[in-house]
Chain A
Amino acid sequence: MAEARDQILEGLRKALKRGALPAEKEAELTARLAAHRPNLIPARATRLDHAGRINLFIEMAEEVQTTVVRVKSNADVPAAIADYLATNNLPSRLVMTPDPTLDDFPWETRPLLEIRRGRAGDGDLIGVTGGFAGIAETGTLMLISGPLTPTRNNFLPDHHICVMRSDQIVASYEEAWGRLRAHTDMPRTVNFITGPSRTGDIEQRLELGAHGPRRLHIVLIEG
């Protein structure tokens, strides 16, 4: 393996007609990596104020079959979820990540919700998660893995309900990367999710719910 590595690298340098990079060039490239300089970011979201970005986020999300409901405060979250379940004739049993951001909601106000905190399994129909950011440009959620936010909960349940605060909405992917770097070291998994799972593999006909969730519902808390 070491032999293959050396041979490949040697071949690349030969093709580029040079030896190993000179130290100053290497320093320049290392500085480029550390700078995280964004390239061109489309004006679509950046030209808007925060309220405009939230509206754009919702508009773009709905365009790809995500449903979004806006609520006034933390106190309204359990009712919003109960409404979603009732409207869609779904059972009230759900699996929720141990994410502490979900602790702030008064679940006791909806005693009929049967909530299990933990990792989702195959039989779980409805999953509730938090989220790290929402990207207005394309209506995209950004979720990160961690001890309290297992990745599988974003994929196994048929219905994925994501609860976020509106101050988590950013304009662009680049802005989301900036927030992530400020918040934590690179997690094992970063999921950008834009709508429910889909496929067009049979005659290019769009079908939702290929392998991941059939529905994606966002509860967005104002404030």
Chain B
Amino acid sequence: MEATSHNFKTNAQKALGDPNLQKALGKMREGFPARRLATIARLPEFEALRDQGKAIKDHTLEHLDYYLETFERNVTARGGHVHWCRTPGEARETVLAICRALEAKMVTKGKTMIAEEIALNEYLEENGITPVETDLGEYIIQLRNEPPSHIIAPAIHLVKEQVAETFRAVHTQLDPNRRLDEARQMCDEARTVLRQKFLAADVGITGANFLIAETGSSIIVTNEGNGDLTQTLTKAHIVLASLEKVVPTLEDASTILRLLARSATGQEFSTYTTVSTGPRRPEDTDGPGEYHVILLDNGRSSMLGTEFQDMLRCIRCSACMNHCPVYATVGGHAYGWVYPGPMGAVLTPQLIGLEEAGHLPNASTFCGRCESVCPMKIPLPKMMRHWREREYDRHASPPRWRVGLAIWAYFARRPALYHHASALASGLLGFWGSARGRFRTLPLASGWTGGRDMPAPEGRTFHALWQERRRNARGPHG
């Protein structure tokens, strides 16, 4: 997809004025965080599991070459194929070559963010192969020709009336007078339409939540069962995975699985966790005839050994965006590319460049909720700061910011001067604003006063009050 991250501000403005989006986001704010909290409250070991999950990923990343080679060896031993791809282009070409060799006309797809990252659907269509999304949310947005707005709930920005409208527009083979008032009816309609696609498809493509070095397996986690029909009924199963998905053993994956669903949807365990190892065996009566794993780098290896290495622990649970006040206000599309929310703000500049995505690490209140709910304890705010520093170092930030920051830095480095200047400023503002008690507009602060009034300062500055407090506290004790 074409990135619009450079338009974050305009995108966000538009999102704020979209009543359907605001209604949908309201439901999200109530849903995910409460369910997560209720589930982890039932598991006293949750915090300890977070530490272990983090340790497993850190260990794997330190020996990533070993675990990837071991994974490859075990896939090959069971009759599968591993394809190492440096770029989205290499990954797309590899998928196409596999489909061509099988003379595939239609592929079904389970939910995979890597496919979004490499813009696979557009590419397959250009080459005469029809991709069909089968996750209900992904299917809906495919029909609407929209990108996902959330990494596990891709159609979370829509209300049911919009889904009904889409189904009526596309499923023209069905009775135009049918009722589509409830989610139930829409689910049934999608189930019926997609069941025929599952049965007719030539190749099934899924993502991977984990790759298991020990056995050469891939694991997917779904609630719908679409990923299973995708990989079971077709001639070939293609797994799209980035390098950092590998973990050593099934036991290690089990530990992280205990964190994943609870952090994501607040479920104890997702409905379907499926471990796939190689193609169907000679005696089997079903399963895919071929098993391919696309191992995509696309910039991950260059995050290793840098201040962004911790990001490679991400298990794509979406807890960070579910708890982010910025995401909850503007939704996922405003971020302008595949990965939204705090994890997107850190990952996107790495994958598509700081020039395109420089706004994203700035779209944060630094409230820290993302880090506090991250099951892998990724220091997301710290990494957003790293991007801001890089942006500043590269002189990529706007001149007004730089001048403002330079002025502030001048005072901040001179405490006495800062103290006097802030006392003067607050005194003057307090005097001017004393009549109304607030300001409608202030020079250089239109961004702030555009949405609310600035209260006029009353009394002395924080510094002055703090010093007095300390003096008083010290006083009686000498």
Chain B contacts of A26 at CB under 8 A? 66
Which of A68-76, A84-92, A161-169, A206-214 is found at the contact surface with chain B? A206-214
Q: Does A29 contact B (CB under 8 A)?
A: yes
How many residues in B have their beta carbons less than 8 Å from beta carbons of A?
Answer: 101
Q: Does A51 contact B (CB under 8 A)?
A: no
CA distance A17 to B158 in the complex (A): 47
Q: Is the interface of A mostly helix, strand, loop or mixed?
A: loop
B183 touches A203 (CB 8 A): yes
A198 touches B156 (CB 8 A): no
A192 touches B187 (CB 8 A): no
Chain B contacts of A118 at CB under 8 A? 285
CA distance A33 to B212 in the complex (A): 10
Chain A contacts of B321 at CB under 8 A? none
Q: Does B49 contact A (CB under 8 A)?
A: yes
Q: Does B171 contact A (CB under 8 A)?
A: no
Chain B contacts of A1 at CB under 8 A? 83-84, 94
A192 touches B274 (CB 8 A): yes
Q: B182-207 interface mask toward A, CB cutoff 8 Å, 1 = contact, 0 = none? A: 01101110110011001100000000
Chain A contacts of B274 at CB under 8 A? 189-192
Q: Does A32 contact B (CB under 8 A)?
A: yes
Chain A contacts of B224 at CB under 8 A? 197-199, 210-212
Q: A33-68 interface mask toward B, CB cutoff 8 Å, 1 = contact, 0 = none? A: 100111110111000000000000000100110000
A11 touches B302 (CB 8 A): yes
Q: Does A205 contact B (CB under 8 A)?
A: yes
B265 touches A200 (CB 8 A): yes
Q: Is the interface of B mostly helix, strand, loop or mixed?
A: mixed
Chain B contacts of A197 at CB under 8 A? 223-225, 271-272
A39 touches B271 (CB 8 A): no
CB distance from B71 to the nearest CB of A (A): 11
CB distance from A206 to the nearest CB of B (A): 9
B68 touches A9 (CB 8 A): yes
CA distance A138 to B28 in the complex (A): 25
Q: Does B350 contact A (CB under 8 A)?
A: no
Q: Does B151 contact A (CB under 8 A)?
A: no
Q: Does B301 contact A (CB under 8 A)?
A: yes
CA distance A23 to B253 in the complex (A): 26
Chain B contacts of A63 at CB under 8 A? 268
B271 touches A64 (CB 8 A): yes
A188 touches B251 (CB 8 A): no
A186 touches B277 (CB 8 A): yes
CA distance A146 to B48 in the complex (A): 37
B243 touches A122 (CB 8 A): no
Q: A9-B68, A21-B63, A155-B228 are in contact. Are A211 and B195 (CB under 8 A)?
A: yes
List the interface of chain A (C-beta within 8 A of B): 1, 4-5, 7-9, 11-13, 15-17, 20-21, 25-26, 29, 32-33, 36-40, 42-44, 60, 63-64, 118-119, 122, 138-140, 145-147, 150-152, 154-156, 172-174, 177, 186-205, 207, 209-213
Can you report 29 A-B residue pairs in the complex whose CB atoms are below 8 A from each other? Answer: A4-B90, A8-B295, A11-B301, A12-B304, A15-B305, A16-B65, A20-B65, A29-B63, A29-B67, A32-B249, A36-B249, A39-B56, A63-B268, A64-B268, A122-B195, A122-B199, A138-B268, A150-B284, A151-B286, A152-B286, A174-B251, A189-B274, A191-B228, A202-B186, A203-B160, A203-B183, A205-B183, A210-B136, A211-B229
List the interface of chain B (C-beta within 8 A of A): 24, 27-28, 31, 43-45, 48-49, 52, 56, 62-70, 78, 83-86, 90, 94, 134-137, 140, 153-156, 158-160, 163, 183-184, 186-188, 190-191, 194-195, 198-199, 213-215, 217, 223-226, 228-229, 232-233, 243, 248-252, 254-255, 257-258, 265, 267-281, 283-287, 295, 297, 301-302, 304-306
